[in-house]
């Protein structure tokens, strides 16, 4: 991708100026949306720790784990985006740490979505056994398994850096801005990316699809509480959409690299920014929208916390106005 950009470096001053103007526009849009989603996730995280019912229910414990990973991923994505826009070059060591943390938190969400879909399947299809199967202990074991698998993914990438690229000078500055594509340049890295994304999509997709089919069949055959089963089916379907968007973003470097030689630099920059917003930022806020707006238990508490935050921001200003009058 970067090589294709360098091939088109000889552009006119007018085009460069237009590109800078668009870069400011896209950066403002991306940072604004990212900060908005980040604040929304933080408020929902605070909400999930504010009441015992959220802290002691497996469904909300899984949601808290998912939101924590999405929030951390947003932070690292925005940080790397700012570094890229600012054209700041880091050492290999610092870039490696940031990238590894980003890869770790990015890997948590797809697997957690699959676990949450299975939990909804058990709740709808086996309501009498749900309390015995989905316990706090089993939920903790599932989260530990997800974190272990994600750690293994990071460990493999560290081995790639150490074994396949032993000539890396980790104290030297990088030639380009910090990114996963700039750090992992070997063909082995691409194969690992493809294999991991394929496995996670297959595992997560099958788990969500199986859960959706089971919940849908129960919703059609149930004589009572059809609304609850239908709502659970829609939630699982939204999980599948979120999974597809997240895993599509993991292949964005492959897609952009494949079409980089066919597009001019400005079009490539626009495409990269659109992908960043639609496939990186937006899927990380879907959890807050799915549960924050649709869950009848979370929504009142979330709205109350949002209103409290708004009153804290507006309150001092109103006080000053009253004093003056």
Q: Report, as an integer, the average pLDDT of 65-73.
A: 90
Q: Of 49-58, 181-190, 237-246, give the range with the top mean pLDDT.
A: 49-58
Q: Where are the domains of the chain?
A: 21-303
Query: What 8-state DSSP symbol labels residue 87?
Result: T
Q: What is the CATH number of domain 21-303?
A: 1.20.1070.10
Report the chain's mean pLDDT, rounded to a whole number: 76
Is pLDDT at 94 greater than 50 in this prediction? yes
Is pLDDT at 126 greater than 60 in this prediction? yes
Report whether 281 contacts 26 (CB < 8 A): no
- What pLDDT was estimated at residue 305? 76
- What pLDDT was estimated at residue 11? 36
Phi, psi for residue 163 in degrees, rounded to 5 = -90, -50
Q: Report, as an integer, the average pLDDT of 153-164.
A: 82
Q: Which of 86-100, 146-160, 232-246 has the lowest mean pLDDT?
A: 232-246
For the chain, where are the alpha helices, taking DSSP H only?
Answer: 2-7, 13-48, 52-55, 58-86, 92-125, 130-133, 136-159, 180-183, 187-221, 226-250, 252-259, 265-275, 286-294, 298-324
- What pLDDT was estimated at residue 1? 39
State the Cα–Cα distance between residues 214 and 157, nearest whole angstrom.
37
Ordered DSSP codes for 226-247: HHHHHHHHHHHHHHHHHHHHHH
- What pLDDT was estimated at residue 223? 55
Residues pairing with 221 in the sheet: none
């Amino acid at each position: 991708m970067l090589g294709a950009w360098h091939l088109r470096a000889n552009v006119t001053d007018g085009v460069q100026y237009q590109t800078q103007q668009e870069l400011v526009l896209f950066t403002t849009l991306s940072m604004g949306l990212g900060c908005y989603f980040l604040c929304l996730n933080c408020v929902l995280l605070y909400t999930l720790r504010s009441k015992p019912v959220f802290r002691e229910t497996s469904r909300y414990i899984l949601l808290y784990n998912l939101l924590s990973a999405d929030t951390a991923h947003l932070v690292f994505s925005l940080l790397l985006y700012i570094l890229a826009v600012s054209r700041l070059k880091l050492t290999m060591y610092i870039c490696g740490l940031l990238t590894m943390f980003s890869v770790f938190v990015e890997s948590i969400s797809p697997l957690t979505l699959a676990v949450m879909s299975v939990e909804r399947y058990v709740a709808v299809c086996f309501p009498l056994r749900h309390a015995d199967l989905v316990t706090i202990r089993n939920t903790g074991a599932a989260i530990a398994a997800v974190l272990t698998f994600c750690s293994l993914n990071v460990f493999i990438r560290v081995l790639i850096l150490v074994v396949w690229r032993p000539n890396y000078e980790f104290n030297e500055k990088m030639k380009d801005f910090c990114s996963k594509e700039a750090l992992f340049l070997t063909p082995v890295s691409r194969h690992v990316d493809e294999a991991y994304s394929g496995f996670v999509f297959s595992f997560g997709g099958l788990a969500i699809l199986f859960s959706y089919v089971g919940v849908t069949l129960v919703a059609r055959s149930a004589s009572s509480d059809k609304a609850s089963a239908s709502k659970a089916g829609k939630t699982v379907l939204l999980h599948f959409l979120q999974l597809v968007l997240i895993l599509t973003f993991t292949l964005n470097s492959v897609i952009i690299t494949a079409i980089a030689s066919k597009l001019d630099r400005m079009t490539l920059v626009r495409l990269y920014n659109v992908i960043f917003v639609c496939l990186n930022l937006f899927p990380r806020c879907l959890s807050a929208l799915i549960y924050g707006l649709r869950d009848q238990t979370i929504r009142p508490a979330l709205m109350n916390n949002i209103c409290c935050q708004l009153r804290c921001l507006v309150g001092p200003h109103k006080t000053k106005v009253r004093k003056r009058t």
